[in-house]
Structure formats: structure tokens, C-alpha cells
Structure 1
Amino acid sequence: MSKAYFVDGYHGGIKGHMPLGSWADVLRRMRETPDWKLCLDIEPISWDALRRTDPASYAEVRRLIMEREKPRVEVVAASYAQPFGWVIGGESNIRQLIRGKALVEAHFPGIDVDTYATQEPCWSSSLPQILRSLGYKRAVLKNPGTAWGGYASGIDRETVLWVGPDGTAIPCVPRYACEELVNCWETEAGYMEPAFADKCVRLGIAHPVGSFLQDLGWPANPRHRREALRFVTWREYMDEIAEEPTEAWAFTQEDIRCTLPWGEGTLQRMSREVRAAENKIVAAEKLASVAGVLRGAAYPEARLQEAWDQLLLSQHHDAWICATTRTGREQWAWQAGAQSWMAEQSCDGVLDAALDSFKREARAGEAPGIRVFNLSGAERKEVAEIEIPASGAAASFRVRNGDGIEVPSQVVPTRARPDGTLHACKLLFEAETPAMGYRTYAVEPLRPEEVERSGGIAAEARAHAVVHEDCATIATDLYDIRIDTARGGVIASWKDKRLNREIVATGRAFNEFAGYLISERRWASSTEAPAMATIKENGPLRVVLELKGTFAGTGYVTTVTAAAGQRSVDFHVRFQYERDTWIGDPWEMAPEDRNTERRKSHHHTRRKLQARFPAALDDREIYKNSAFDVTLSRHADTHYERWDEIKHNIVLHWIDVYDPRRDYGLAVFADHATDYSHAKDEALALTLGWGGEGGFWWGKRPLNGVQEMRYAVLPHGGRWDRAGIQQACARWMEPLLPAFGFHSGASSMSLFRVTDPAIEVSSVTMDGEDLLVRLYNSGSEARSCSIVLGAPLSAGDLSLVELDGKPLSALSSDVLPDQTREAKLSLPRQGLATVRIGGMRTAAMNS
């Protein structure tokens, strides 16, 4: 009988499960069982709660955690809210660990949290470089509770070097390929029995190890009791028992085989809310930093931390895997929605204060203007949009840049007087903005007679729409689009003018809504009924076309938005389900089988309600992004039905289908994490909704009420990296930020710029007088670039630091003839670098 090892312990905390007395129970069992050892993946905010509610248990747990001689307890992971890393962005993955470790270290000074191990599939493929930068020495890709979110790919090795997309490696215990995918409650009689250990040894795994981090709150008992099984911590096992890893394992995002019932109404709404807060909080940090340097505004560190704390809690894995469980305000999805809303509210306050720092009181006879902020590392030229008030007899507006030159603009009335003059309007104009800075524009009101006489640049139509009897057409400087209103508003033709290509596959319906109606036992399509087209905006800069149609009796409204010079075309779709509607795989199960049945209706993505994008492409490669990574799909198709057959089909921010022979592709951006389907003989399709039997946690979940989604489609020449898909999606998620009012300071200013467009500015924060700038190489190969500080700024020392700001190395810089300052650096593909720019606030205020 082979010797085997077992890592026992607990996960959870006050967010998940930590009833009063649970720690006292654990401690009692530890005293009774001297060989029992624990790894703890506890939500760090739980330590405050334990100290307050059960100080005696807190003191004893603290003593065990701080023990240096023959320790029995190891704190692992220490993320703030134990998130599924594969459904959140890169910055969220980083902040979860930075914030969580800081709280743990405050409770247990001097503790080493250097093992990343979790009970749930809380991974993303870019974790090796994140973990290494934050001081982790080892990782684990086992999650023995494999009944819920999913699991990792397996490899029959005792240890491996987990290699991330940037080339960083970390020693890792993988899930063995020979492991059975057993339900979490079956592990005691399952994969750690003697026969399994013997099998592992025969396969070359000399020291087989299993693990189970139990739910905190379960009756305290060692998970296993067997003579041949030795309890260890992960640090003990990897440092003292397991063989040193020698084999590199390039673990990709597709090796994270996870699934959720994407398209379910509650989950979809929550996912959209979390994404919106993610986008806003990064923008708020950037703008607060710009205001801190250029205007000397106090950096709202506490308010931003409060926003991050709320956002991080909304990303808790239980909020996603059991979103619909509990009732009322205890429901996981309700709490996640409230937390993301509170995060956004805090960010709105930060953004408003930062914008206000650039404003001043009006001078006599002065007209207000618009200052447009660009929070990316590259210059941008695109349509900016802002709603502004109007007074007097203004019927329209003219926009001029700092040199007095009129720029293309468009006015969309939002509130008008009976004579056509305005109370308020949306003002769109073509803004050219420097990197990480702003440019100011003058706004001139026009009286009705001036509007009639005006012509010139503002009236040049570069985007317009026409509604015909059975179709509608949209034309911009980039595209000609024909929409078939007789067939539900699908796109019948989409011409790329620049490359002279037809995007839509011959005879196919592009942006068709289709799915399988379970109650009617048939496939349904939006092409079955006509749609009514209404032009909401008609140039000269932007077109918004509204389409009202029905899908099998369910009403929907789609808006299609195309703008001059804009490569992506936006779609927003809103379904109104008046009754319970079931769309998906008609797979049923008895309620008593929900916790064991491995086939689920939501696994069959193709039968969900989808938006389908049949493109004129032959050979097809699928690329998709994740947190600080882009993956080429290995799947011939995305089809599976059982939980033990999962294929990765998750869209985080974007997915791209590319034809290498034609050197042409089509990218789709999504406003939330969801899934997609694709096969050789099927079009790329994005999930819009699902209603069916979800099994354990979910039960039967119909579509009901309002369900909506925003996505964008970008046709392109060249592969995703050459076409700048990652950068285009980043701009889509972080639009230009215009502010109306009376502005002080220079009419245009740039804090810094990055010379390579593939190098994204992932975050900008302030640390005292210093600026911390995180850069991400989103390209497919190593890149060299410069970060150039805008004149007249001159900063103190520049250095490279770890993700949490700890020093790494000095960074040399040169002053250029135009008095800007340049520092050169190199980043590996998909790599990160954080630059500390010393004394930026002081330098700016003295300039």
C-alpha cells in the first residue's frame, strides 16, 4: 500500500460561511487530533469578525498561525474574496491578492503567505507572474470540490513548473490526469483511497497528495483518517516531500475548464454590473492621479480603497456559482449588485472631485467649454459625447479646438422648446486628445438663423442612415451596412470600404437572434417576423438606428450605432419576457438528482438564445483574451453536454475569429463575462439568454422580465495583434471623458505617453508624491518601448517596482530636446511592468 499525503483545511469566512462557534469546534478537534494539520484559505475580513465575536478562539488561532517550530497551520492564497479569476479582469486579480495579503499581515505580523492554493477554481492563466511579483513561491492547481465551478486540466506529474503567457514559472502541484472527477462530498471514499495512491505511484507520482479545504462551519473533523495517509500543509509537502519540478507546463486559459449558466437572467445582470464597476474604478484611479499631479488635488486613497473593497466582494466565487441562492437582501446576486453599485457610487464621487479640480468660476461674458480627458497611454482621435445645457436662443452649437479651428460635431436635442431652441442636448464632436491628459474645446451657441446659414465642416455627413420599405442602410466613411427589416433586422450585407471586402457570409443573416424553444420543441429565429426601423440619430458624425422586433413572441429592441472613423459598430439589445420562457437544451432531471447529474441544460451553448455572426471566412482560428493573456483556441468546436467534458468557451472582454488565408477577421467585444459557441461549420455566436434546468444551486431558471446586453463588432485586416484588437477593446471599455464648464490651467496637457500602442496602461495610482504606472504588453511578442513624461514635468527618480510597489531596480531616463523625459524599458509578451515615477506631484506644482 503506497504512502500518500493529504492537505486538509478550510475555506470561506463571514461572506461564505463562518457561524459563531465554528472556530472553537475546529480548535477542539485540533487538540484531540495532534497529527491534523490545516491550510486556511479564509476571507481576510473574517479575522476582524473573529477577534470581535470570539476573542479566545482568535487568540488560539493566531498562536497556531504564528507558530514557527513544527507549524500545523498554513495560511494560503489570502485573496480578499476568493474570486474566480477567469471571470474578472487583470487589475481585479492583482488587487484581490494585494488587499487580502495586507489584511492578513496586519493580523499576523511577519507571516509568510507564499502558497497559492484554493478550494474553488480561483485561477487565471496569468497568475504565475502576478504570484511571483507578490512573493508567492508555490501554487496548486487542484480544487477537490470539483462539483461546482469547474476544474483544471490534468497532468500525471508530482510537480510541474506552471508557466504563464509571459514566460514566468512557479512550482506547482497540478491536478493529476488520473484523478477521477468526483463530487466534492465523495472525496473521502474517492480519489485518496489506497488503490488510487497505488495507481499514482505506477504513473510516476511517487508522493501522491490530495486536498480538501472544507467549508468553514461544517462539523469539525479531519477529512480523512487512515494510517497510510499523512497530513501535511502545502508548504511542507512541496518543500520537504515532493520532488523538485523540472518539467515546464504551459498552462493556458483553456486549461481552466469552468462553467456557469451563462445567459441566466440573474447571473447576466450581475456580471454586467460587476464589469461596469471594474471599468469605472480603474478610470477613477487614473483621473484622480492626473488631478493629483496636474492640479495638486488630494488623492482620495481611502475612498478608492472603499470602492475596491466593495468591488472585490462582488467578485466572490459564491456570488457567481450560487448567485440565485438565499432570499431577499441575503441573495448572493443582490449583495453583489449592491456592492458593485456602492463601488460605482464611490468612483462617481472621485471622478466628480477630480473633474472639479480643473474648473474655476466663470468670468464676465465668458462661455463654458468642454475639456476632454484621455486616460490611455496613447493619443486618441474619436467621437466624444456629452450632454450639455443650453440657454437663451441656442438651436445648435459649434465646437472649436484650441487653435480656433472648427471640428466636426453633431447635436442631438434631449429637451427643446416649442420653437425648436434647446434646453439641453447631447453634443458629439471629433476630439483629438493627448495621452494621459486632456484637450479643451470651445463651444459656441448658434441661433436658429445661424444654423440655417451654417455649413462647413460640422455639416459634412460622414455617417448617415436611410430607412426604406423593406430595409435600412447605414453608411460611414468605413462601412456600408444593409439591414433587412423584413427579416427581423438582421444584417444582410456589410461592406468594408477600406479593404473592399464583404463581411457577411453569402446568403446568411448576420446578428440573427436564434435559439431552441424548449416549450415549443423547435428552433426559433428573429428572421421569422419583421422589425420596425427608426432613425434616432442621423449624422453627420454618428448614426443610431433602432430596430423593434419579436423573437417567438418576445419583444426586443436593438440599437445599432456606427460613427465616423470608428472601427467597431455597437449593438445594444433588450428583450422583454412577459412570461416564463425556456430557451436552451431541453434536458430535465428530477430534483433529487440535481447534485449528482453531470449533464446540464446550460452546457449546450448552441441551443441558447444567441446573436450569430456568420462571416465570409474560410479557415478559422479563434483567439480570446483573459486577464493579461490572449489564447489561441485548441478546440475544434465548443460543444459539450456534461460537466466532465467541459471545453473552455468563456468570453471575458473579446473574442476574435480570424482567417489566416484571407488575412481577415472579425472581433466581438462583450460588456460582461459570458460564453460563446463556434464550430467549423457554424458561425461564431454570443450568448444573450438561457432558461432551463440548471441543476444544483440553480434549479429551473426561466427567462423573465428585462434582459439586455451591449456588444460591439469590429471587422479587421490582419491577425488580432496586428489589428490592435486588444487596444480597440480597451478604448471601447474606457471612452473619452468630457467635462463641461469653466476650466483653468493650460488648454492641453499630457502627463505621460507610451510610445508603443501595444503597451497598455493597466492602472495609474498615487503613492504619496509618487506616481505608480502599471504597463501591460498586450502583444504577441516581446516589445521595447519608452514612457515619456510630458513637458514641463520633471520627475525624481524612476524605478521598476513589484505589483505592490516594493522596489525592484532603478530605471534610467534622459531629458529630450523638447524637455520631455524618456525612460526605456522592455516587456515580454503578455508581460507586466510597474514604474514608480518619483516626486511627480511636487515637480508638477513647481513647474
Structure 2
Amino acid sequence: MKSTLSLLLAWFICGTAVAQQAWYIDGYHGGVWGHYPDWNTRFMADQLAQHPDWNINIEIEPATWARAMQVDAPALNDFRTFFEAGRVEYVNPSYGQPYLYNVSGESIIRQFQYGMQELKTYFPRAEFTTYSSEEPCFTSALPQILTSLGFKYASLKNPNTCFGGYTRAHGGEKVYWTGPDGSVILTAPRYSGEALSNESTWQTIGWNNSPAYLEHAKQDGILHPIGMTLQDAGWKNGPFMGSKANYTTWRNYFEHIVNNDSAATWNLSQEDILVNLVWGSQVTQRIAQQVRAAENMILQTEKLVAMSVWDGNMKWPQAEFDAAWRTLLLAEHHDSWIVPYNGQPGDTWADKVHNWTEQTNHICDSLIQIGSARQNQAKIARIKNGYQLDNDMYRIVVDTVHGGVITELFSKKLNKSFAVNGFNELRGNFYEKGGRHSSMESRVRVVKLSNGLEIHGQIAGTPYTQTISIRKGDPKIDFELHLDWKKNTGIGTPLTKEYKWEMRDKPFYNDSNKLLVVFPTTLKDVHVAKDAPFDVTESRLDNTFFNSWDSIKNNIILNWVDITDGQYGLALFSDHTTSYTHGAGFPLGLDIQYSGMGLWGRNYTIDGPTTVNYAIVPHKGNWEAGDIPHQNNLWNDPLADYNSIFTLEGGAVQVTSMTWKNGQLVVRLYNPSTKPGQARLRFKKEIGEVSLVELNGEINTNKQSTKAVTNNKEVVVDLPRFAIRTLSINPQ
């Protein structure tokens, strides 16, 4: 979403303050689900005809063109003429325009694959060369995904739509963005002199090629400065900067304007992507949970159906999976996360996400039944002021006098205690109920379960139920928290003055006052690591806290966050993307609830119960020594057993997806490790030819990547650190 206030601000035409030549990226952003009036295709075609020097870049939802063909086919044909002439570049072909950092790596791949496939229907000669977005739709592993899809260039700029964040500024007019696996893509960064605007909380000074922006660029040695705005589809401006700007496509900029210039390498971290949403709000939480559950469901279903096809029990149901993926990809749309309340009652973005993910789950349910085995029982003993939970892995003591917190968490395998008093405490600032409250203020009632405890307590007058579960041989300790809210109540930091869009300090930025579940441990001087799509980030943050738009930190937990003192560690798993807390004197914590002012002055409220699932894993060493990616994969995909087809040997290597295409079994592998890995797939029967394929379907001719096919039953694949590799296997 972009502020229409931008249209009311003075536009500075490039070149008025400095003699240096400048360029501009103009175009449109939106689509049939976000915003795309039926007249927009005709408008773009007419404007391109009227302004022969105007070249544009578009990120329009691919499904838009089916509607455009239906309502005004001549307009689409005219627009295609300009597209084929090279005056229009498609810079974001993803199906649902997701933020990327908040969804699974496999979802990101399908976003591009489904989007590019759809676009080829309407633009058969389309070439996807540059990735760029008007929103902060970035993630650290993009270089290997983009290059495998055939992209050559990228932009890390989003200067006119920074409501949800921005990237860290970096020196140079272009860099070699290097991903965690070593993949490289030539990229235009947000320049080091491209400061955040002092007049808004959604812009950098690069949004209009202002004199200040160009002067900073000149001082920093930027020879070919470029500004950018992808206008909202529906705006009737035509050329955004008037007639005096040098409008270019990103492809032309990279290939003909800056092609011969040198560029530095930038090993961009996920913490260089400075993004934030209204984490902890119930509406955002539900969206994140629904998307995560559907992601897990569809990937599990694909694997199970793939095995059934291998065994000859059924044919691959491509049409059904296509339908299931498309609704999930739409649920990942950035607008559903940043403006969840937008829309008519019953048809808001939040409502759409619910319906879309339900459709995905329904299709998966129709294809196969997924169940789980019953778990082994744990021993439970009543002790003074609490209960003791025992199995072969842990001894856990729960204090019933003080809110059911864990006073002892002893790992029998490691011979190590991890918890200090207050472990698993709920606490937050209930500013309409007198301030800070804790679950430790009240006694709890405990019910014994076959493999754990069910705790009944209350916090600030709201009843909650929490289950703690352990299983024989399993290092994961599972928690399910259910808060039975009866009415909305303010939680977090209150708004102390009239809300304005330009306010830098926003209440939802401050996680320290939100309702958290916290885990104070015996570990001292810890280092933090956290996963990201096809990456693990070694945190450089002193703490996760900030209050202002101009000081956003990436404090996001995708699947897990881990702390370690070098000898021992503790990992925290979450059932949805949200924020985590940590800092000096502040324990690791998970954001459970926020209720208060959000973006655009909207009150984000509580309208019913909240349920959150999370887990912890005490371990030796750091996240890698503790095998945390594997444990989290088992938590999300408990049926990850491919033994009916092959056994997988390869340490940390995971199977992220299994599908069929053109009679070939397609297996994608991921190495979630800082070390190079080797995957060995031992098949139960003889197989035919095996090819290593790129994400765009092209065969990788680098024979060193696929090392061997032995006795027609074995495939050995080398994987660099954090790399993905896709195998196409002929079953014969």
C-alpha cells in the first residue's frame, strides 16, 4: 500500500540542482487482487503511445491478465505491442507478490514458477531479467533462487513504499549481492546516501530523484544515480516525474548504462532486510498460522502422493496441486499481511486468507489422509508446590503456586540444567488493566495427560490453558497455549498522542511490552542464530528492541531461533512467522499477543481466543551441532519418511519437495549447514537417467554437481552450504 499523500507532495525534477545525469524507474504495482481497475490496461497502453520516451517496469499479479483479456482484449493487445518492443519490463513475476522473508523457501520457488508460467500465457516472449519490487519483498537467499530461474539482475530499492520496512543502505551504485550459498546477482542497492525521508514514514529521499538525493549520490561517487517509484495501479499520472526524467527499464539500466562499471561484493544478511509488521496482533498471527499450516500440509501431501505414484497406486494429480498451490500463493500476498483489515466486511484480506488456505487444505485432504502415531507415555509425579514430568530425555518441574512456570528443565542426555525461575512465564503490559501482569501472579490447576501436563491458569483476569508434552527419544518439548479472551484489552505500548502517518514512533514496534512467553536460562553470554528461507542468520543484534520507523531491526522468527553459549544451546520453534525478543538482561521470548494501534491508525484488536504452538530443544553446542534444522523439519513435517522410494544419507541435507513432472520424479534437496554437504540417495529399485535441473526447468550441465549414478540405484549429489539442488529422476 502506498500513501496517496505522495501525489500531493512537490515533485522535484531530476537535474535541477546538479548537472549530473540521472535515471528513473517508473511503472506500476498491483493487480486484480490488490488494486487494478478495468481501465488500467488501456490507460497504460495509451500513455506509452503518447510518451515515446517513457519506459516502464511492472509488478502486476499474473492473474490480472485473464481479467484484462476478458474486459478489454484490444487494450491488452496494444499493451503487448509495447511489451514486445522492450519498453515494458516485468520485474516481479511472482504469483502472489509475497514479502518472501515470511514464508518457506519452497513457497518462494513456487511463487515464481507459477507466476512465470501464468505470464507466458499472455506474454509468450517475456524474458524475466531483473527482480525489483515496490514493497520490501526481499530475503537473503534470493540470489540462488533468481539465478536458477534465469534472472541476471536485482534491485534492493523500495523508496516510495517503506511502510513495512526497507533494506540497509550500502555503498556503491551496484553490488554483487551474494547469497548464503555463494550465488551472485548484480544488484542496485539502496545507496549509502539514500537517507530515509524526514517528511514521511514510507519513503527514502530516492523516491523522486530529489536534488538532495542526487547531490549525495554525486558525493558518494555514484555515476549513474537512479530513483524509483512503481505507482499503484489505478493512479492516473502517466509518467510519474513528468517529461524531463530519463525513464528506463532495469534491464536497460544494467546492460547499457552501468554495465562496464565495477561492483563490490555484498554478503547480505537477513538482518540487512529491515522489515516489520504488526507482530503479535491477532489478525496477523492467524494469517501467519493459516499460511504455515497450509504450507506444511501441501508439501507433506505432495511427498505422500509422490510415493504413491512411484508405487503405481495412482497418477500424479497435477490439476489438483495447481489449484491448491494457487490459493496458498495468494494467501501469501504482501497486502494480506500489512493491510489485513482492508476490504468489505466478510471479504477483507484476512477473510480471503482464511478461505484460500481452507481451499488448499481441502484439496490436500481429498488427496490423502494424514495422521500421526500415538506417542509414548511420560511419568508424572505430584511434588510439593508442583508436578514433576519425567521420561528418558528430561526431568521437568512445574511450579503450580507461581503460574505453572518451569523451575527445572534437566536434560538427562546432556546432564545439564537449562531453566531458571520464570522459564515459560507469560508476561506483558496490560495498559488498560493497571500495567504489567504475569502468569506467576496466580496459582494454576494441573491435569495429567498420557505424555505431559495440562495447566489451567489466568493472567490479568483472562483464563488460559497450556499443555506441555514430551516423548520418548524426542529432544523436542512441545507446548500448546490457549488464551480464552472474553473481550478486547490493550496489550503492549499505549498510544499517548493522536496518531499520524508521519509519526516515527509507533506502539507496535516495542515488543518488550507485548504479551510474551519468556525462557530465562542458565546460559550466559549467548549468541543468537535464526533461520530464514534457505538460510540461517548469525545475529549481529545487541538486542531486538526498537521504537521508531527509522531504526527498524529484523527481529523475525520464521521457524526457529537459537541461543548458545558455545557449549550448550536452546532452540525455540514457532508455528507461525512472528517476532522474538532477546537482549542484555532480557531473556529469549516469543511474541504471543499485541492489541493496540497499528499502521494507518487502525486499531488491531482481540476478537476471540488465541492458540499458539511452540517447542523448545535443549542441545549441545550451537544450532548446527544441535541438529536444529532437522528437528524443526520433523516438527513441521512429522511424516518425512521416503523409505518406500529411497533412503537419504547426507547429514543435514533435507528433502524439501517431491513432485512429478512429465513422468519424472522431481526431488529437491537443501543443505541447511555452514559446511558443504553430500547427499546419497539409495533407491529401492533400479532407476533410469538422473538430471540436475534448474528452477526454470533447464538441465544443469555442470556434471560435477551430480557426481555419480552407481549400479542404477544410487545418486550422489554435492551441495554447497545452504544450497538447493533439484533432481529429475527417470523411474524407468
Q: What TM-score bracket applies, with the shorter chain setting the length?
A: over 0.9
CA displacement at 1:187 relative to structure 2: 6.9
CA displacement at 1:613 relative to structure 2: 0.4
The answer for the alignment partner of 1:65 in structure 2 is 83
Whole-Å Cα distance in 2 between the matches of residues 8 and 813 of structure 1? 49
The answer for the alignment partner of 1:401 in structure 2 is none
Select the residue among 238, 251, 265 that pairs with 1:235.
251
- State the secondary structure of the residue aligned to 1:266: helix
Q: Which runs of 5+ in 2 are unaligned?
A: 1-17
CA displacement at 1:211 relative to structure 2: 0.7
Whole-Å Cα distance in 1 between the matches of residues 216 and 257 of structure 2? 19
CA displacement at 1:814 relative to structure 2: 4.5
The answer for the alignment partner of 1:636 in structure 2 is 542
Select the residue among 97, 117, 121 that pairs with 2:136.
121
Residues 467 and 535, structure 1, Cα contact 8 Å, conserved in 2: no
- State the secondary structure of the residue aligned to 1:30: helix
The answer for the alignment partner of 1:483 in structure 2 is 398
2:713 aligned with 1:821 = yes
CA displacement at 1:27 relative to structure 2: 2.7
The answer for the alignment partner of 2:617 in structure 1 is 714
Q: Which runs of 5+ in 1 are unaligned?
A: 356-371, 373-383, 386-426, 430-461, 538-542, 739-747
The answer for the alignment partner of 2:196 in structure 1 is 181
Residues 597 and 695, structure 1, Cα contact 8 Å, conserved in 2: no
Whole-Å Cα distance in 2 between the matches of residues 245 and 727 of structure 1? 40
* RMSD over equivalenced CA pairs, Å: 1.9
CA displacement at 1:665 relative to structure 2: 0.3
2:415 aligned with 1:500 = yes
Mark the CA change 1:695 to 1:319 in structure 2 (over 3 Å): closer, same or farther. Answer: closer
Residues 493 and 507, structure 2, Cα contact 8 Å, conserved in 1: yes
The answer for the alignment partner of 2:62 in structure 1 is 44
Whole-Å Cα distance in 2 between the matches of residues 15 and 203 of structure 1? 40
Matches within 5 A, 1:127-146: 127-146=142-161
Whole-Å Cα distance in 2 between the matches of residues 75 and 815 of structure 1? 43
Spell out, residue by residue over 1:688-729, the C-alpha distance to the aligned partner (whole angstroms, 9 max, x if none): 000111131x61223332011000010001111111000000
- State the secondary structure of the residue aligned to 2:624: helix
What is the TM-score with the length of structure 1 in the denominator?
0.81
Whole-Å Cα distance in 2 between the matches of residues 74 and 785 of structure 1? 39
- State the secondary structure of the residue aligned to 1:487: coil
Select the residue among 469, 477, 495 that pairs with 1:569.
477
Select the residue among 681, 686, 693 that pairs with 1:794.
686
Mark the CA change 1:184 to 1:524 in structure 2 (over 3 Å): closer, same or farther. Answer: closer
Residues 159 and 206, structure 2, Cα contact 8 Å, conserved in 1: no
2:312 aligned with 1:312 = no
The answer for the alignment partner of 1:701 in structure 2 is 604
CA displacement at 1:831 relative to structure 2: 0.4
Whole-Å Cα distance in 1 between the matches of residues 643 and 520 of structure 2? 44
Give the aligned residue type for 1:34: P
Residues 629 and 830, structure 1, Cα contact 8 Å, conserved in 2: yes
Mark the CA change 1:294 to 1:244 in structure 2 (over 3 Å): closer, same or farther. Answer: farther
Give the aligned residue type for 1:729: N
Mark the CA change 1:694 to 1:185 in structure 2 (over 3 Å): closer, same or farther. Answer: closer
Structure number with larger C-alpha Rg:
1
2:540 aligned with 1:525 = no
The answer for the alignment partner of 1:440 in structure 2 is none
Whole-Å Cα distance in 2 between the matches of residues 802 and 245 of structure 1? 28
Spell out, residue by residue over 1:188-220, the C-alpha distance to the aligned partner (whole angstroms, 9 max, x if none): 996511232122011111111011111101123
Select the residue among 461, 470, 494 that pairs with 1:586.
494
The answer for the alignment partner of 2:39 in structure 1 is 21
The answer for the alignment partner of 1:766 in structure 2 is 660
Structure showing the higher strand proportion among its residues: 1
Residues 160 and 203, structure 2, Cα contact 8 Å, conserved in 1: no
Spell out, residue by residue over 1:501-521, the C-alpha distance to the aligned partner (whole angstroms, 9 max, x if none): 11113xx21000001111235
Whole-Å Cα distance in 2 between the matches of residues 184 and 61 of structure 1? 34
Aligned-residue identity in percent: 34
- State the secondary structure of the residue aligned to 1:823: strand
- State the secondary structure of the residue aligned to 1:723: coil
Whole-Å Cα distance in 2 between the matches of residues 749 and 828 of structure 1? 25
Mark the CA change 1:588 to 1:334 in structure 2 (over 3 Å): closer, same or farther. Answer: farther
Mark the CA change 1:428 to 1:695 in structure 2 (over 3 Å): closer, same or farther. Answer: closer
Residues 514 and 610, structure 1, Cα contact 8 Å, conserved in 2: yes
Residues 766 and 772, structure 1, Cα contact 8 Å, conserved in 2: yes
Mark the CA change 1:621 to 1:797 in structure 2 (over 3 Å): closer, same or farther. Answer: same
Which range is displaced more, 800-809 or 85-94?
Answer: 800-809
Equivalent pairs counted in the alignment come to: 708
Mark the CA change 1:673 to 1:558 in structure 2 (over 3 Å): closer, same or farther. Answer: same
2:367 aligned with 1:350 = yes
Spell out, residue by residue over 1:275-294, the C-alpha distance to the aligned partner (whole angstroms, 9 max, x if none): 00000111111111100011
Spell out, residue by residue over 1:597-617, the C-alpha distance to the aligned partner (whole angstroms, 9 max, x if none): 121111101110000000111
- State the secondary structure of the residue aligned to 2:238: coil
The answer for the alignment partner of 1:549 in structure 2 is 457
Whole-Å Cα distance in 1 between the matches of residues 682 and 497 of structure 2? 61
Mark the CA change 1:203 to 1:521 in structure 2 (over 3 Å): closer, same or farther. Answer: farther
- State the secondary structure of the residue aligned to 1:181: coil
What is the TM-score with the length of structure 2 in the denominator?
0.94
Whole-Å Cα distance in 2 between the matches of residues 804 and 762 of structure 1? 17
Residues 576 and 704, structure 1, Cα contact 8 Å, conserved in 2: no
- State the secondary structure of the residue aligned to 1:830: coil
Spell out, residue by residue over 1:143-163, the C-alpha distance to the aligned partner (whole angstroms, 9 max, x if none): 123332111111121100000
Residues 814 and 822, structure 1, Cα contact 8 Å, conserved in 2: yes
Residues 478 and 564, structure 1, Cα contact 8 Å, conserved in 2: yes
Residues 171 and 245, structure 1, Cα contact 8 Å, conserved in 2: no
The answer for the alignment partner of 2:167 in structure 1 is 152
Whole-Å Cα distance in 2 between the matches of residues 111 and 147 of structure 1? 29
2:529 aligned with 1:623 = yes
Whole-Å Cα distance in 2 between the matches of residues 554 and 630 of structure 1? 37
